[in-house]
């Protein structure tokens, strides 16, 4: 199977358009010589240990949840550990792909998996994902005749910056034609300048900013109203089992005990304070929060469970492996990394 075909499957499972604007997702390392993809290695982080594992497996594609290359690179040198890994991938002819926040956002993704550890409930998205509309503005104006309309449209098309212009016209009466035009933000200024040169459009022009449509079920963080409320102590045991961990960190909300009831839980995989801030819930579950962020939550009566960053994400790899494997030919093996682990441990 060719690399581009595997990438298409990955994109179908989790569109990269769902990723946050600040994120660095997609194909990060592409070999100069194409070769069939026979082994895909899934990992939460690409580390030296995971790279050694990939080399031993003669891996063709590494899917690293966290992007090993995030900030712009001005050089590729051995002294930087992430650049060193990128060099090794290139030398071995391995491709590297990262989905990161597209997996967090997608329906049935990391956050849905994480909140599912507490049991069934009515789940909603905390930070709604929005569709990527190509047209961001609507321009409405009047022209006196079909000839004037044609002249205006031809000027707009001639000045088009490559963004498709969509135009429609209706004639509410015999004296004028009402025109509605949608365009991208980049085409807005030039389109307005053209319309202002014509007397009728100039006198009747109105501009509306179009909102992006929400994508139901997609977005960052989840809030679950549990079908069966549990105690804080039971929630801890459920999450230990779900995450495969012997230990979790707990901060009890003000006035709460281990026997206090949890009816609502808000989760955000990884470092979730910015998504969870201001959310009303009995319990927060995330990988990490700062000292003061925990204090803020506790003061509001919300208990907090922390698992350490990647421990709140890693378990989803097994779920994704099954989804990916059934969409790839039998000749392609999808492997979970055995070397991948959170850098922190309780001692």
256-291 residue pLDDT tens: 999 999 999 999 999 999 999 999 999 999 999 999
CATH topology of domain 107-129+216-307: 3.40.1390
In DSSP notation, 20-65 reads: -TT---EEEE--SS-----EEEEESS--HHHHHHHHHTT-SEEEES
3-104+314-336 and 107-129+216-307: same fold? yes
Residue 240 confidence (pLDDT) above 80:
yes
Architecture in CATH for domain 3-104+314-336: 3-Layer(aba) Sandwich (3.40)
Residue 92 confidence (pLDDT) above 80:
yes
CATH topology of domain 137-209: Alpha-Beta Plaits (3.30.70)
5 marked among binding-site residues: no
218 marked among binding-site residues: no
**Mean pLDDT computed over 79-94:** 95
313 marked among binding-site residues: yes
Q: State residue 134's pLDDT score.
A: 64
Q: State residue 59's pLDDT score.
A: 97
**Mean pLDDT computed over 30-39:** 94
Q: Is the dihedral of CA 159, 162, 163, 164 positive or negative?
A: positive
Residue 99 confidence (pLDDT) above 90:
yes
Q: Give the model's confidence band at 154: pLDDT under 50 very low, under 70 low, under 90 confident, else very high.
A: confident
Q: State residue 172's pLDDT score.
A: 58
Residue 199 confidence (pLDDT) above 80:
yes
Q: State residue 17's pLDDT score.
A: 94
104 marked among binding-site residues: yes
The mean pLDDT of the chain is 93
Domain locations along the chain: 3-104+314-336, 107-129+216-307, 137-209
- Pairing state between β 176-183 and 137-143: antiparallel
Q: State residue 346's pLDDT score.
A: 87
Residue 236 confidence (pLDDT) above 70:
yes
């Amino acid at each position: 199977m060719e690399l581009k075909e595997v990438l298409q499957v990955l994109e179908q499972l989790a569109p990269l358009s769902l990723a946050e604007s600040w994120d660095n997702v997609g194909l990060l390392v592409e070999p100069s010589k194409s070769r069939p993809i026979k082994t895909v290695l899934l990992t939460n982080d690409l580390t030296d240990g995971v790279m050694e594992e990939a080399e031993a497996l003669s891996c063709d594609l590494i899917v690293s949840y966290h992007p090993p290359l995030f900030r712009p690179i001005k050089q590729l040198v051995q002294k930087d550990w992430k650049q060193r890994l990128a060099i090794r991938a290139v030398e071995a002819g391995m491709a590297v792909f990262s989905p990161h926040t597209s997996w967090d956002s997608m329906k049935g993704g990391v956050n849905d998996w994480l909140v599912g550890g507490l049991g069934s409930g009515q789940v909603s998205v905390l930070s709604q994902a929005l569709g990527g509309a190509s047209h961001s503005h609507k321009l409405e104006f009047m022209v006196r005749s079909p000839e004037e309309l044609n002249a205006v449209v031809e000027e707009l098309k001639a000045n088009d910056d490559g963004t498709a212009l969509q135009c429609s016209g209706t004639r509410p009466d015999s004296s004028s034609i009402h025109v509605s035009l949608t365009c991208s933000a980049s085409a807005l200024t030039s389109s307005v300048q053209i319309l202002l040169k014509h007397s009728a459009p100039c006198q009747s022009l109105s501009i509306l900013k179009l909102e992006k449509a929400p994508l139901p079920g997609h977005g960052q963080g989840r809030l679950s109203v549990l079908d069966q409320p549990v105690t804080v102590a039971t929630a801890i045991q459920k999450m230990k089992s779900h995450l495969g961990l012997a230990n979790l960190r707990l901060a009890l909300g003000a006035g709460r005990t281990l026997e206090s009831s949890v009816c609502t839980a808000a989760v955000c995989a990884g470092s979730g304070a910015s998504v969870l801030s201001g959310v009303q819930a009995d319990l927060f579950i995330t990988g990490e929060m700062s000292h003061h962020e925990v204090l803020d939550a506790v003061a509001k009566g919300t208990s907090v469970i922390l698992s350490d960053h990647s421990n709140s994400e890693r378990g989803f790899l097994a779920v994704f492996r099954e989804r990916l494997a059934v969409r790839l030919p039998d000749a392609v093996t999808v492997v979970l990394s055995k070397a991948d682990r959170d850098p922190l441990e309780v001692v």
